[in-house]
Structure 1
Amino acid sequence: MSRYDCDLHCHTVRSDGNDTPRELIDNAAKIGMKVIAITDHDIQPPSVVKVGNEEIPIKKYAFDKGIELVLGYEFSCDTYVDDVHILGYKLDWSNKLVEDEVRRERESKVDAYRKLCDVLTENGIHVDYENSILRYTDEEDNVRYRKPEDVQRKHIFEFIAKTGYAPSWKDAKIMVRDNPKLNVRRKKINSFDAIDLIKNCGGTVVLAHPFLIDDVVKYPDGKTLTRENYINQLIEHGLDGIEACYTYSKTSYKGSFSNKEIENYIKEHYGDRVKFFTGGSDYHDDGKKNVKNPRCIGEAGITYEEFNTIRDYFI
């Protein structure tokens, strides 16, 4: 597998990843990465890591390991459109706008994911919110507990796969997404509002994995938009960049294009309309959960030379 020096889209246990922030940095250092970004869903990035009894600034910890660390936030956007995710980098993380959005997202998840488990169970896919999602067994058969605000949809999809209702979490996601009876939606931030929030907090706005947005976006009122028109609206509203290099083949992408074909299309189609392109693996360390063919740090990204041309947008 070819590997890029810079991976600008990675997750930790702070959302739905399986590495702690420290483990992510350590794993990236072991394979010689130069730049990685922590971009957890709907939560500010960590500022420190704990080593023994000492708390070390996370960027210093990464630097000492030979890693330049970028801090980001992945906004889940648009209630009625699946997988519109906007990455915000270089924000003022203590800004009240960010803190209020984190609080709102947390509250929306608690109610929606409990209801999703009830709806799945009513339709023959038995998911006990209290005893299978909040209280769960890890891959080493240890009993662990999550707070309601820490539950992610992916945790539910992983349980569906683990109990045999779907071959994998990706299949579970598609099964729920494409069935109106099952697809309980939580209230997400409007994509334009997410762009405004990031800009108002001094940040950089990047559209993540654009081809995970459906070819045709359909709203409950009958309105439709093509993916291209949807992205055009985001660009016009202030998008800085687009994630061009991405691990579509290891996600719920429903199309037939290869990762490289998508990357080439995005660069050719939007090259004169955004300031830059990024890349990222969307690493979660799913290998810890015995996921076949998991995403790996750096298998999608950009070169260090490319990063240096856009460094000021991220550091």
Structure 2
Amino acid sequence: MYYSSFGEGSIAPGIVTPSSATKKKYDCDLHCHTTHSDGNDSPEELIINAAKSGLKVVAITDHDVPPPLYLDTPQGRISVKEFAHQHGVEIVLGIEFSCDTYVDDVHILGYRMDWENPLLAEAVERMRRSKTEAYRKLCEILTAKGMPIDYENEILKYIDEDGNIRYRDPDEVERKHIFELMAKKGYAPSWKDAKIMVRDDPELNVRREKISPFDAIDLIKSCGGTAVLAHPFLIDEVIHYPDGRNLTREEYIERLINHGIDGMEARYLYSKTSYKGNLKDFEIEEYIRTKYSTKVKFFSGGSDYHADHKKGVSNSRHLGEAGVTLQEFNSIKEYLI
């Protein structure tokens, strides 16, 4: 059953600012988003900006949507791998599944999958439908609570950073688009604060039906891929289910491991997210590597880049700010490509 809770059956180049270029610490960034979900770089811009930033490897891991296999450029249609190669970058293709209806921020990355497998297409269609219904409802509740968000005229129809009117298909809407508008309209200081506001208010935290983590792992493997748990410390330290069940983060992760998760994201920018704890990024990495070194096949890393600097976010994540070294990438490459 795809939409169970855990345990329930289970090409104009983009502009790279000097500050973004100097933030690079790692040659390989294995967790990035584009305009195909809630990022602000097109796939072409992501690759070009990765090259400008000095990256050797960059991954496209958009939310609940397969990566593009081909790009339409002024020179004609070209494979995304060839486009990246022309810019001196190796591309890793992935998808980030949002999992578990009742737990926030359970995300499983799928790499090296058969992107044309009908099982994946069916799952993607279910995820699209669930998003459309939930996000429209969230806008209605926000409006009723005195924070007007017009789904049709502010989310589907919107103004980009250059002042141009754009249109989104309902299937392309992500919650972050709503959070960004909440911040723009002054309902929260930033999109991250808006996310926390919605997350911590039971009335606002509209639950869309998400694929269970067990089913996501099974789907990835059925498509020949590798399953990696993204940003494990964004999962609450103690998880409370509506039916009264409680699980610790460690118990939750242990269940994923027992179900066959292959890898875990150890290097990540928790300091630039809605992480609730007090540990520093390096302390979390050390903990993950120590505790799970014998329980998963490998560790990965990524910035979770969204090109938020285009939206004026001052503390945005930069390409390569988190990731893996080229030596580390080569040691795990067989799991990713």
Give the structure 1 partner of residue 324 of structure 2. Answer: 302
> In structure 2, how many angstroms separate the alpha carbons of the residues matched to 1:244 and 1:125?
37
Give the structure 2 partner of residue 103 of structure 1. Answer: 125
Report the alpha carbon displacement of residue 64 of structure 1 after superposing the two structures with TM: 1.4
1:196 pairs with 218, 225, 249, which one?
A: 218
TM-score by length of 1: 0.99
1:143 counterpart letter in structure 2: I
> In structure 2, how many angstroms separate the alpha carbons of the residues matched to 1:196 and 1:151?
26
1:295 counterpart letter in structure 2: R
Give the structure 2 partner of residue 264 of structure 1. Answer: 286
Q: Is the 8 A contact 2:24 2:318 kept in 1?
A: no
Q: Percent identity, aligned pairs only?
A: 64
Give the structure 1 partner of residue 6 of structure 2. Answer: none
Give the structure 1 partner of residue 143 of structure 2. Answer: 121
Give the structure 2 partner of residue 236 of structure 1. Answer: 258
Q: Is the 8 A contact 2:24 2:53 kept in 1?
A: no
Give the structure 2 partner of residue 255 of structure 1. Answer: 277
Give the structure 1 partner of residue 39 of structure 2. Answer: 17
Give the structure 1 partner of residue 173 of structure 2. Answer: 151
Deviates further, 255-264 or 137-146: 137-146
Deviation readout 1:55-94 (Å, 9 max, x if unpaired): 1111011011111100000000000000000000000011
1:37 counterpart letter in structure 2: A
2:202 pairs with 180, 188, 192, which one?
A: 180
Give the structure 1 partner of residue 107 of structure 2. Answer: 85
Deviation readout 1:244-284 (Å, 9 max, x if unpaired): 00011111111111111110110011011101100000000
Please report the RMSD computed on the Cα atoms of aligned residues, expressed in angstroms: 0.8
Report the alpha carbon displacement of residue 101 of structure 1 after superposing the two structures with TM: 0.7
1:279 pairs with 276, 283, 301, which one?
A: 301
Give the structure 1 partner of residue 77 of structure 2. Answer: 55
TM-score by length of 2: 0.92
Report the alpha carbon displacement of residue 53 of structure 1 after superposing the two structures with TM: 5.1
Deviation readout 1:130-170 (Å, 9 max, x if unpaired): 11111111222211111111110000000000000000000
Report the alpha carbon displacement of residue 3 of structure 1 after superposing the two structures with TM: 1.1
> In structure 2, how many angstroms separate the alpha carbons of the residues matched to 1:290 and 1:123?
27
> In structure 2, how many angstroms separate the alpha carbons of the residues matched to 1:205 and 1:149?
24
Deviation readout 1:28-64 (Å, 9 max, x if unpaired): 0011101111000001100112221501111011011
1:164 pairs with 176, 186, 205, which one?
A: 186
1:234 counterpart letter in structure 2: L
2:60 pairs with 38, 42, 54, which one?
A: 38
Report the alpha carbon displacement of residue 2 of structure 1 after superposing the two structures with TM: 5.1
- Secondary structure of the residue aligned to 1:40 is strand
Give the structure 2 partner of residue 215 of structure 1. Answer: 237
Give the structure 1 partner of residue 16 of structure 2. Answer: none
Q: Which runs of no fewer than 5 residues in structure 2 stay unpaired?
A: 1-22
> In structure 1, how many angstroms separate the alpha carbons of the residues matched to 2:335 and 2:233?
23
> In structure 1, how many angstroms separate the alpha carbons of the residues matched to 2:91 and 2:297?
21
Q: How many residues align?
A: 315
Q: Is the 8 A contact 2:33 2:306 kept in 1?
A: yes
> In structure 2, how many angstroms separate the alpha carbons of the residues matched to 1:235 and 1:206?
10
Q: Which runs of no fewer than 5 residues in structure 1 stay unpaired?
A: none
